[in-house]
Amino acid sequence: MTLTARLAILCGAGALTVGAFAWGAGVGWDELTHLGQARNVVEIEGVEVKIPASDGDGTRLAPRVPESTSGEHSFLFEEDGEPVRLDPCKAVSWVLNPEEMPDGAEPLIHAATDDVALYSGLVFDYEGTTDEPARFDRAVVQERYGDRLAPVVIGWSDGDETADLAGSTAGLGGSTSITGAFGDQRYLAAGVVVLDREDFSDLLETSAGTALAGAVIRHELAHVLGLGHVEDATELMHDENTAITQWGPGDRQGLAIAGAGPCES
Ligand SMILES: [Zn+2]
């Protein structure tokens, strides 16, 4: 079986259709500490919504990972020659939609987030389960998650529900590029990982397949961190994978860079 973990690029603000809400217009602490700066907004279902400010305090949550390897890597979004990345001063919150999750899959997801955290220097924070479907047209701010950017959602689908999972594609992953609450600096937010429940059910029948299933999840999480595909078939970020289960040198370099972005606050 050829497993493809296909690229999914999300566009930024402006085409968001799900879960709109707006909150009060009073002047809050964020405005006072950014006096004179315009507050950035996104439009969700025709309503302008303030982009929530980071809850970080400007210091990294975990040490930066040194670039100890080099090899091919790429980024999905770049701005002024710099990759667009997650804010390393706040946790990468994530939630899991367990609907129709194959038996044995959940430990692989937790192991994959631990692994991506280790190689990126980002801190992942599991918040529990959600009933939000893992879809790429999700809103970046949703009432169910409160006044903040939506956490990464990981969930299950198949080729009938999600056309991009048709055939041998086992997973999809990506994030939205969005400005911070103030200024022009862009960050990744509201990531999505969609896994193919049928492909995973097949993979999880053997130990070799289980290792490959774990690699698919890590590949998709790397997309959430902003990594794109590479030509080098020995890297996990190659777009087709039948045998690679460990990060290559370019993957590791890319993850280190992905975790070394600027802080918002
Ligand atoms: Zn991919």
- Convert the pLDDT of each residue in 206-261 to its tens digit: 999 999 999 999 999 999 999 999 999 999 999 988 889 999 999 999 999 999 99
Name the domain count of the chain.
Answer: 1
Decide if 50 is inside a domain. no
C-alpha distances in angstroms, 93 versus 45, 124, 137, 151, 253?
24, 6, 19, 5, 23
Tens digits of per-residue pLDDT, 40-65? 998 888 889 999 988 888 899 999 99
* Cβ-contact 145, 138 below 8 angstroms: no
Decide if 48 is inside a domain. no
Per-residue pLDDT at 23:
32
Decide if 115 is inside a domain. yes
Range of the domain at 144: 4-13+55-258
DSSP E strand stretches across the chain? 3-7, 41-44, 47-50, 78-79, 82-83, 92-96, 124-129, 152-157, 169-179, 186-196, 240-241
Task: Decide: pTM greater than 0.95.
Answer: no
Token reading at 198: 């049928």
Decide if 223 is inside a domain. yes
| 127 CA to centre of ligand 1 in angstroms | 25
Decide if 101 is inside a domain. yes
| 236 CA to centre of ligand 1 in angstroms | 9
Q: What is the mean pLDDT of residues 175-192?
A: 93
Decide if 22 is inside a domain. no
| 55 CA to centre of ligand 1 in angstroms | 30
Per-residue pLDDT at 12:
26
Decide if 117 is inside a domain. yes
| 239 CA to centre of ligand 1 in angstroms | 5
Q: What is the CATH number of the domain that holds 68?
A: 3.40.390.10
